[in-house]
């Protein structure tokens, strides 16, 4: 049952070159649906993954805080699950930031990521990387060549995968007895509680609560043993699964708590949709007021989330002329749909904005700290959720 529609949207990371601005941009329906029986929330339309991930513009290394977060994950999990000589496989290894943080010389590493343009960066970091989509057949090939893995990691991956059963079969194939599958996904409850509608885009097919995750894993002989929560990326769930079925007592408690909240009910979801629509009106109103009072607003960060905010709220170049971003591969390109040019973050001084719309709000601490001089000059950050920083 559909409960939120964000309209017809270009793929969030389909940034445009200047000579593409006058061409027709592919747009696809972007909406969320709830399965009231299992509690899964998923997109109503699937964009072919080859269009989204073969050449990719998101780099894990673009945030030091996230690099540190994944280094901690890898260090803790390697210590707990990987003996000397063991194999660690990361699904969705991107530029090798996480795997290259492992400073143990007595373990073997393997990255798997379909983005060919980024896999070369991982290799340059010394991380052996297979540039393919993960699948059970690929897992079987890895096992044939390198044996089973003591640790399989997948951060911000499960939500991107259409065939979750094949992914889980592949993890079951790949995971050695006594090994662990550690994954991170945005937590649905945080998305709903904080109206994080801008984390909804075509790359993210599924939005997970604990119960549907446990059901999916158990279907494939994997037991959700541990669930932890982290504030990164707007609220993240980290799951640890092992061979077996069912769930641990602690995980069972979390599921009961979700049930008590009425998480998989349309009533709750309809309330979220109304909240998102109000946010859209409030943001447009605020930006229109700022323009009317002669204030200059520019965007900071050209994340996938930013494409959703600007297109869903109709924030064009008239309301916000440019967006800044620290990612060299994004600079000189334009935001999909609304076409703001993306300039280096260093342009903040020359642009002299009064207000910066912080599209990369999940990195607020890192960004506000780095751009302290802007605030000292009287500048203010505003998030798409109308928080002033």
- The site for ligand DWN (CB under 6 A) is made up of 58, 62-63, 156, 203, 233, 301-305, 325-327, 330, 345, 360, 362-363, 366-367, 370
- 179/186 with CB nearer ligand DWN: 186
163 vs 366 by CB, closer to ligand DWN = 366
Query: Measured at CB, which residue is nearest to ligand DWN?
Result: 303
* 325: nearest Cα among 335, 317, 336: 335
CB of 158 to ligand DWN, least distance (A): 10
Question: CB neighbours of 52 closer than 8 A, spacing ≥ 6?
Answer: 11, 13, 160, 202, 203
In the complex with ligand DWN, which residue's Cβ is closer, 132 or 366?
366
Q: How far is CA 125 from the centre of its chain?
A: 23
CB contact at 8 A, 218 and 168 = no
Query: What is the closest distance, in whole angstroms, from the C-beta atom of residue 89 to ligand DWN in the complex?
Result: 19
Q: Of the two residues 61 and 150, which places its CB atom closer to ligand DWN in the complex?
A: 61
Q: Which residues contact 193 (CB under 8 A, 6 or more apart)?
A: none
Find the shortest distance in angstroms from Cβ 13 to ligand DWN: 7
Min dist CB 370 to ligand DWN, Å, is: 6
Q: Which is nearer to ligand DWN, 65 or 295 (CB)?
A: 65
User: Residues of 66-105 as b/e, b for ≥16 C-beta within 10 angstroms?
Assistant: bbebbbebbeebbeebbeeebbbbbbbbbbbbbbbbbeee
What span, in angstroms and rounded, lies between the C-alpha atoms of 159 and 165?
A: 13
Rounded least distance, CB 306 to ligand DWN, Å: 7
Q: In this structure, are residues 319 and 288 in contact, taking their beta carbons and an 8 Å threshold?
A: yes
The closest alpha carbon to 121, from 139, 101, 93, 96, belongs to 96
Cβ of residue 218: shortest distance to ligand DWN, in angstroms? 25
Residues 72 and 89: their CA atoms lie apart, in Å, by: 16
Which residue matches tokens 């999909």? 336
* Pick 87 or 308: Cβ nearer ligand DWN: 308
CB of 192 to ligand DWN, least distance (A): 17
Residue placing its CB nearer to ligand DWN in the complex, 340 or 362: 362
| CA-closest candidate to residue 91, choices 130, 46, 117 | 130
Dihedral sign of CA atoms 117, 122, 126, 127 in order: negative
């Amino acid at each position: 049952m559909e409960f939120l529609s964000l309209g017809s949207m270009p793929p969030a990371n389909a940034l445009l070159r200047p000579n593409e601005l006058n061409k027709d941009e592919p747009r696809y329906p972007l909406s969320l649906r709830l399965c009231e029986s299992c509690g899964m929330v998923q997109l109503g339309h699937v964009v072919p993954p080859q269009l989204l991930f073969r050449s990719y513009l998101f780099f894990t290394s673009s945030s030091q805080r996230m690099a540190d977060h994944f280094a901690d994950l890898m260090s803790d999990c390697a210590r707990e699950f990987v003996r000397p000589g063991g194999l660690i496989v990361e699904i969705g290894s991107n530029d090798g930031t996480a795997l290259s943080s492992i400073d143990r010389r007595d373990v073997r590493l393997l990255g798997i990521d379909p983005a060919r343009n980024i896999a070369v960066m991982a290799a340059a970091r010394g991380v052996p990387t297979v540039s393919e989509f993960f699948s059970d057949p690929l897992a079987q090939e890895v096992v044939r060549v390198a044996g089973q893995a003591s640790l399989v990691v997948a951060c911000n991956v499960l939500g991107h995968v259409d065939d979750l059963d094949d992914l889980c079969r592949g993890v079951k194939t790949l995971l050695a007895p006594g090994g662990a599958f550690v994954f991170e996904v945005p937590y649905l409850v945080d998305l709903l509680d904080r109206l994080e509608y801008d984390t909804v885009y075509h790359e993210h097919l599924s939005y997970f609560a604990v119960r549907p995750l446990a059901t999916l894993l158990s279907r494939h002989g994997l037991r959700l043993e541990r669930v932890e929560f982290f504030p990164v990326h707007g609220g993240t769930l980290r799951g640890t699964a092992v061979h077996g079925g069912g769930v641990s007592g602690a995980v069972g408690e979390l599921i009961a708590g979700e049930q008590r909240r009425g998480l998989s009910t349309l009533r709750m979801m309809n309330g979220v949709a109304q909240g998102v629509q109000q946010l859209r009106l409030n943001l447009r109103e605020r930006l229109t007021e700022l323009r009317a009072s002669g204030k200059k607003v520019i965007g900071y960060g050209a994340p996938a989330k930013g494409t959703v905010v600007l297109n869903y709220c109709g924030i064009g170049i008239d309301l916000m002329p440019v967006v800044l971003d620290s990612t060299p591969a994004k600079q000189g390109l334009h935001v999909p749909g609304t076409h703001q040019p993306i300039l280096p973050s260093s342009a903040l001084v020359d642009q002299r904005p009064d207000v910066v719309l912080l599209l990369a709000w999940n990195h607020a601490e890192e960004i506000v700290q780095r751009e302290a001089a802007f605030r000292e000059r009287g500048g203010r950050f505003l998030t798409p959720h109308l928080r002033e920083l």
